[in-house]
Structure 1
Amino acid sequence: MAKSHPVDAHVGTRMRQRRTLLGMSQTKLGDAVGLTFQQVQKYERGSNRVGSSRLYEFAKALDVPVSYFFDEMPGNVLAGRPMAARVKKGSGFGEAGTPFAVEKDPLVKRETLQLVRAYYKIREPSVRKRIYELVKTMGSSGSHTERARK
C-alpha cells in the first residue's frame, strides 16, 4: 500500500480536528458533502487525496475557509519536491517541524478538542473565566513540581 502524501495527511488531520471540535460525526460530515463515513475516514487519514471541489465542500460543511486546511503545515512537508526549492525560507508557508509530528501536538488530541468544546459550552463568562484561571494555575504549579523533581 502506498504511503500517504504529507500534504494529504496534514489536510486530513486538519479536517478531523475541525470536525471533532464542532462535535460532528464522520457520518454527519459525509452526509453534508455526499459521502459515506468510510470515505470521510479515508480523507482524514490522508489515504484519499482531496480534490479542489471536494475541499471546497468540506470547508463549507465545517464552516472554515479553504486555507484552514493548510494552516500550520510544517515547512518541510514538501522537502525534496521540485516546488519546495522555489519557496524561500521565512516566506510564510508553514512552520518548521516534521510532517508527522501530529501525535506530539496536544492541539490535535481528541481530549484537547473535547475540553475546548466543553469549555465553550459554559454560558456564564465569569464561570468560564474562573475555570480558565484555575486550569492555568494548576498547569503552572504542575510544571514547577515537574521541574523540582528533575
Structure 2
Amino acid sequence: MAHPVDTAVGARVRELRIRAGVSQVELGRALGVSFQQVQKYEKGSNRMGASKLVLISKTLGVPVEALFDGIDGVDGATGDNHEALDKEASKIARDWARITDSKTRDTLRTVLHSLARAAA
C-alpha cells in the first residue's frame, strides 16, 4: 500500500507535468526510466529518490519544493503529527518500564511484532 506522502507527491508531479506540457514518455526519457515507471511514480506505487525528484523539478522547470506543495494535510506529514507520535511513544515507553515480568514482556513483544508486520 502506498504511503500517503508518496501518493501526494506523485499526484503533484502529474499535475506539474501536465501543466508543463510534458508527456510521461518525455519525463521518463529525462529520468532514464520507462513511461510505465513514471505512471507508478505518479500513482505513488513506487517511491522517488532524491535524485529523481531533482531531475523531475529541472525537467518540469519548477523548484524541487513545488513537488511538495499542498501535502501538509497528509497524515504523517506535519510537525504536529510528529509531536503527537513522540508523546504516544513516551507513554508506551513508560508503560513498558512498569512491566517487570520478563515472560509478560516477551509476550507483549511478540504481539507487537505480529501487529506491526500485519500493518505493514
Report matched runs for 1:32-51 at 5 Å: 32-51=30-49
The AA in structure 2 aligned to 1:85 is H
1:84 aligned to 2:81? Answer: yes
Shift of 1:85: 2.6
Does the CA-based 8 Å contact 1:30-1:36 persist in structure 2? yes
Uncovered stretches (5+) of structure 2, i.e. residues with no partner? 85-120
Shift of 1:77: 2.2
Does the CA-based 8 Å contact 2:4-2:74 persist in structure 1? no
**Matched residue of 1:77: which SS?**
coil
Shift of 1:15: 0.3
Q: Which protein is richer in helix relative to its size?
A: 2
Report matched runs for 1:96-135 at 5 Å: none
TM (normalized to structure 2)?
0.63
Please say which structure displays the higher CA radius of gyration.
Answer: 2
Does the CA-based 8 Å contact 1:5-1:46 persist in structure 2? yes
Shift of 1:82: 9.5
Of residues 66, 69, 74, the one that matches 1:68 is 66
User: For the residues of structure 2 that align with 1:58 and 1:85, how far apart are their CA atoms?
Assistant: 28
The AA in structure 2 aligned to 1:71 is D
**Matched residue of 1:30: which SS?**
helix
Change over 3 Å in CA distance of 1:76–1:38 after alignment to 2: closer
User: For the residues of structure 1 that align with 2:3 and 2:10, how far apart are their CA atoms?
Assistant: 11
User: For the residues of structure 2 that align with 1:60 and 1:46, how far apart are their CA atoms?
Assistant: 20
TM (normalized to structure 1)?
0.51
- Partner residue in 2 for 1:8: 6
Q: How many residues align?
A: 84
Uncovered stretches (5+) of structure 1, i.e. residues with no partner? 88-150
User: For the residues of structure 1 that align with 2:10 and 2:73, how far apart are their CA atoms?
Assistant: 17
Shift of 1:83: 8.0
| RMSD over aligned Cα atoms | 2.3
Change over 3 Å in CA distance of 1:36–1:76 after alignment to 2: closer
**Matched residue of 2:75: which SS?**
helix
User: For the residues of structure 2 that align with 1:35 and 1:70, how far apart are their CA atoms?
Assistant: 22
